[in-house]
Amino acid sequence: MALTKLGRADTPPDRSLETFPIGDSSQEITIDCREFTCRCPITGQPDWATIRIEYRPGDRGVETKSLKLYLETFRDEGIFHEHLATKMRDDLVAALEPVFLKVTVDFNVRGGIALAASSTYQR
């Protein structure tokens, strides 16, 4: 797959994740996205979170600009936190075919409650 988003300032957010050959499947990769936003599906209020993606690749790694654009597509979407962790896991597993992948969504406190949800895939 060609990398079409990297190096282009005019690339709009979309849900496609670009990958590249990683070469070394013994690596453990961690990506933290500290400025994630989505909306409560009931109230429409904004929610802020840190997204942590941990994976052991098969043959492919995720290109981080495409990941950033993917994450931006959730900005105005109403989604429950628990569903978000599973949705991201499924999308990343489909793109990467990893040996192991875990997505953790750690939301900021709202109404006095902090919520973190994780979803894991193991080949």
**Looking at 40, 59, 90, 91, which residue is catalytic?**
40
Neighbouring CB atoms inside 10 A of 16's CB total 13
The answer to whether the annotation marks 63 as part of a ligand binding site is: yes
The answer to whether the annotation marks 97 as part of a ligand binding site is: no
Q: Is 32 a catalytic residue?
A: no
The answer to whether the annotation marks 82 as part of a ligand binding site is: yes
Q: Is 33 a catalytic residue?
A: no
**Looking at 14, 24, 47, 91, which residue is catalytic?**
47
Question: How far is residue 16 from each of residues 60, 68, 117, 121, measured CA to CA in Å?
Answer: 15, 11, 23, 20
| DSSP H or E stretch at residue 32 | strand 29-39
The answer to whether the annotation marks 62 as part of a ligand binding site is: yes
Taking a C-beta distance cutoff of 8 angstroms, is the pair 102, 118 a contact? Answer: yes
The answer to whether the annotation marks 72 as part of a ligand binding site is: no
Cα–Cα dist 123/112, whole Å: 37
Query: Which segments are annotated as binding site?
Result: 62-64, 81-82
Active site residues: 40, 47
Query: Which segments are annotated as binding site for substrate?
Result: 62-64, 81-82
